[in-house]
């Protein structure tokens, strides 16, 4: 009975993953369809009024830094307590910024009919930018638009710094790949080549078995398919879609700096996740797993980013309509992302190589690192590399160094729960997803809540985040995971 339940549950997990990927494909490519214009679609249906207007134009600007801040004088009807006022910035028909003009103003704005709004115009991977600025006023549940104001920004000086610094990035990448990543890869391969995998068919991990699916039962052949080049091709197709989406978002064809930033960001984002996976695989010295499983799990983590992006976008937009966009960051994104990452662990939960808690840690961490690779790539690409190189490096340091293990740690929690059920010989280990995902999402949500807490509490929120949330839920949880892994490996017999 439990075996049948496990199969039905796995079918449901796979169906949910496929539906999520389909939704994401529709969401991410809809703005790029011929005839789509986010600027026109967002503003054409809004009302206008004579007492809500912006200046007709701005002076031509140049900038050594991004964003370039300008002061925009906005004339409004007398503001009421529940009114909202935003400025949306569009470039090439796409929205590049959304600024709340009332958020940072001090004092009571009720009755105000004219105010100065500080507008940060971001670099958009183009030497010269033509931006359209719209005022968006919501009053009495009605949306009004004003504008557009055209702002021309010359980013030539900014891009000069981009190319000066790019040589440093190239040197770092060459050193990282030639001195570290390639030798580590060769070492891992040599160890894997000598590793035996217990009393199993010696042909199971041969080159021939890559293309000929093994297994007597349906579930065994399904597992063989999941770690074969046939499934890798499907995973890589989904990964190609999300990479293509990032390329479209950055519009890499419009300038050499856009293409360079796209490549640099991806190559840099890959380094730390790769090293983490190699370290965890090697640390399980009593039973090192076949590399084809590690490769499959890493690809699944990357593919999970595609599954999550569509539903995260929908949830963010819906909550944003009622002014609660921040809620989706720590209440909805964590369970969605952990579900999609953990689903890969559930699909292979009955594979004979997945037989312990420490396997769950290694496999879960690998899935998380695949997801982190894509996410870090997106964050680096969204923070242009130019004269504000300190900010770009800070993003890399924060995400790829300080919090580099987070996604691996979160998903390893799900792996532990499934591994525990396997050790107890529970007949439906995939159901561990129902327990592991809420636990992983809790730690994930605690991490994501930092930005909201800081925004609400200011300096006090920063102290809470740095002195309580990070030590307890980020590093504290990770240290417990490492200790738990060491204890499990030491107690395990060599296979």
Question: How confident is the model over 79-89, as pLDDT tens digits?
Answer: 887 888 888 88
Instruction: Provide CB contacts within 8 A for 296, sequence distance 6+.
Output: 226, 227, 231, 232, 235, 344, 348
CATH fourth-level superfamily of 43-154: Immunoglobulins (2.60.40.10)
CA angle 32, 34, 38 (to 5 degrees): 55
**Kind of pairing between the strands at 114-121 and 128-139:** unpaired
Neighbours of 256 (CB within 10 A): 14
DSSP three-state, residue 41: helix
Q: CATH 2.60.40.10 region(s) of the chain?
A: 43-154
E-only strand ranges, 339-407 = none
Higher pLDDT, 265 or 128: 265
**Alpha carbon distance 69, 116 (integer Å):** 12
- Asked if pLDDT for residue 223 goes beyond 90, the answer is no
Q: What is the pTM of this model?
A: 0.87
**Helix residue spans in 52-199 (DSSP H):** 156-175, 182-194
Confidence class of residue 297 from pLDDT cuts 50, 70 and 90? very high
The predicted pLDDT at position 352 comes to 84
DSSP three-state, residue 100: strand
Q: In whole angstroms, how far apart are CA 338 and each of 223, 294, 342, 407, 413?
A: 21, 18, 6, 9, 10
Kindly state the average pLDDT of the residues 228-232: 87
Highest mean pLDDT among 47-51, 145-149, 319-323, 346-350 belongs to: 346-350
The predicted pLDDT at position 7 comes to 83
The predicted pLDDT at position 410 comes to 95
Q: What is the pLDDT of residues 379-431, one digit of tens each?
A: 888 776 654 566 777 888 888 888 889 999 999 999 999 999 998 888 889 99
Q: In whole angstroms, how far apart are CA 203 and each of 197, 211, 313?
A: 11, 12, 45
Per the structure block, which two tokens stand in for 383?
Answer: 């923070």
Confidence class of residue 474 from pLDDT cuts 50, 70 and 90? confident
Check if the beta carbon of residue 270 is closer than 8 Å to that of residue 477: no
**Alpha carbon distance 153, 290 (integer Å):** 53
DSSP three-state, residue 314: helix
Q: What's the chain's length in residues?
A: 495
DSSP state of 475: I
Confidence class of residue 363 from pLDDT cuts 50, 70 and 90? very high
- Asked if pLDDT for residue 494 goes beyond 70, the answer is no
Highest mean pLDDT among 36-40, 282-286, 460-464, 491-495 belongs to: 282-286
In whole angstroms, what separates CA 35 from the centre of its chain? Answer: 28
The predicted pLDDT at position 203 comes to 65
C-alpha gyration radius of the chain: 25
Question: Could you tell me the end-to-end alpha-carbon distance of the chain, in angstroms, rounded to an integer?
Answer: 31
Kindly state the average pLDDT of the residues 261-277: 92
For 250, phi then psi, to 5°, come to -80, -10
**Alpha carbon distance 84, 377 (integer Å):** 33
Neighbours of 50 (CB within 10 A): 7
């Amino acid at each position: 009975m439990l075996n049948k339940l496990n199969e039905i549950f796995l079918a449901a997990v796979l169906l949910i993953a496929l539906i999520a990927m389909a939704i994401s494909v529709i969401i991410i490519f809809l703005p790029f369809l011929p005839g789509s214009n986010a600027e026109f679609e967002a503003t054409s249906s809004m009302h206008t009024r004579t007492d809500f207007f912006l200046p007709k134009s701005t002076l031509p600007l140049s900038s050594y830094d991004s964003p370039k801040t300008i002061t925009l004088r906005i004339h409004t009807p007398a503001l009421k307590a529940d009114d909202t006022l935003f400025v949306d910035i569009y470039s090439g028909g796409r929205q590049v910024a959304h600024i709340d003009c009332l958020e940072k103003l001090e004092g009571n704005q009720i009755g105000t009919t004219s105010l100065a709004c500080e507008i940060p115009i971001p670099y958009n991977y183009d030497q010269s930018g033509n931006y359209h600025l719209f005022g968006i006023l919501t009053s009495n549940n009605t949306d009004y638009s004003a504008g557009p104001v055209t702002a021309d920004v010359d980013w030539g000086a900014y891009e000069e710094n981009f190319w000066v610094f790019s040589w440093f990035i190239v040197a770092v990448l060459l050193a990282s790949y030639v001195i570290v990543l390639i030798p580590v890869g060769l070492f891992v391969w040599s160890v894997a080549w000598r590793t035996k995998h217990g009393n199993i068919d010696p042909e199971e991990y041969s080159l021939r078995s890559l293309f000929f699916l093994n297994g007597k039962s349906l579930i065994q052949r399904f597992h063989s398919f999941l770690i074969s080049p046939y499934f890798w091709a499907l995973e890589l197709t989904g990964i190609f879609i999300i990479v293509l989406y990032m390329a479209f978002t950055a519009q890499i064809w419009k300038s050499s700096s856009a293409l360079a930033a796209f490549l640099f960001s991806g190559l840099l984002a890959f380094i730390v996740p790769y090293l983490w996976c190699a370290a965890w695989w090697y640390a399980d010295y009593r039973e090192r797993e076949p590399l084809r499983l590690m490769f499959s799990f890493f690809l699944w983590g990357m593919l999970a980013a595609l599954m999550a992006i569509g539903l995260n976008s929908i949830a963010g937009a819906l909550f944003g309509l009622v002014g609660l966009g921040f809620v989706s960051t720590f209440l909805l994104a964590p369970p969605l992302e952990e579900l999609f990452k953990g689903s890969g662990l559930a699909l292979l939960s009955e594979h004979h190589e997945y037989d312990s808690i420490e396997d769950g840690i290694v496999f879960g961490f690998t899935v998380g690192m695949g997801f982190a690779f894509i996410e870090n790539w997106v964050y680096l690409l969204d923070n242009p590399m130019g004269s504000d190189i300190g900010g770009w490096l800070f993003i890399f340091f924060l995400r790829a160094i300080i919090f580099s293990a987070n996604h691996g740690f979160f998903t390893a929690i799900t792996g532990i729960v499934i591994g525990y059920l396997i050790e107890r010989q529970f007949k439906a280990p995939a159901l561990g997803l129902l327990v592991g995902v809420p636990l992983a999402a809790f730690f994930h949500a605690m991490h994501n809540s930092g930005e909201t807490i800081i925004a609400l509490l200011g300096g006090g929120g920063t102290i809470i985040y740095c002195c309580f949330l990070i030590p307890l839920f980020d590093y504290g949880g990770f240290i417990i995971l490492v200790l738990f892994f060491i204890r499990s490996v030491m107690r395990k017999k060599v296979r």
